[in-house]
Amino acid sequence: MAFRYPNGKKFVDGRNEKKKKTVSKDVRFSNRGMSLEEDINETNEYYLAREIAVIHKKPTPLQIVNVHYPSRSAAVVTEAYFQKPSTTDYNGLYKGKYIDFEAKETKNKQSFPFKNFHEHQIEHMRRVISQGGIAFALLRFSISDEVYFLEARHLISFYDQRGESRKSMKKADIEKYGVLIPTGYHPRIDYLKVINDKML
């Protein structure tokens, strides 16, 4: 979910941008195109409206430390911190199947850094697979605007081979083991088509 500021600026989750955290908000969030998250949310709304699937993004996990209750108005959270998610961001139901995925983007051209994934997200995907669910990742190379569908079993296999000298997946491997999703307008990123073609 992209949160709207009163001034119309979008809040974009900054967890993967730690190095930039001292930069001011206006600089950080300016000049962004449509984010992967927005494209996926619109795709999910498309699926939902047409009764194709029921897939939602989970809310951003926050540790709430302080809540103020002004009389006669809504409770205000006045202090909260972003938490690492214990699962992937998206899940739901398609043709009776449990669907679970994570979506990430990189500005790299030839590789996708593992640091985009938390250990417990990978662990979650292992569990989903062993329980018979469909788990995958949507990986966008933002410079070339390409989105790949990569089954979790491949992502996990790459992840397990990571190390000091291997901190990312090669784009060539993602091309080989994944599926390039044609992006459109309606839906923008038709990832269920890949599931239909390859996984059902």
First to last CA, the chain: 28
Neighbouring-strand partners of residue 103 = 138
- Closer CB to a copy of itself, residue 94 or residue 141? 94
102 annotated as a binding-site residue: yes
Three-state secondary structure call for residue 119: helix
Q: Which segment (31-39, 55-63, 156-164, 174-182) binds a copy of itself by CB under 8 A? A: 55-63
- Closer CB to a copy of itself, residue 69 or residue 185? 69
Q: Is 32 in the site for a copy of itself (CB under 8 A)?
A: no
Residues whose CB is less than 8 angstroms from the CB of residue 35 and which lie 6 or more positions away in sequence, other chains included: 2, 10, 12, 105
Which two structure tokens, joined as six digits, stand for 71?
């009389």
Q: Is 77 in the site for a copy of itself (CB under 8 A)?
A: yes
Q: Is 96 in the site for a copy of itself (CB under 8 A)?
A: yes
Q: How far is the CB of 127 from a copy of itself (least distance, A)?
A: 5
Q: Cis bond leading into 182, ω under 30°?
A: no
Which two structure tokens, joined as six digits, stand for 146?
């390409």
Sheet order of strands, 179-181 included: 54-57, 90-94, 97-106, 134-141, 146-151, 179-181
Q: How far is the CB of 28 from a copy of itself (least distance, A)?
A: 8
Annotated binding site: 87, 89, 102, 121
Annotated binding site for Mg(2+): 87, 89, 102, 121
Contact positions vs a copy of itself (CB under 8 A): 1, 3, 5-6, 11, 14, 21-25, 48, 51, 53-54, 56, 58-67, 69, 71-72, 74-82, 86-87, 91-98, 100, 124, 127-128, 130-133
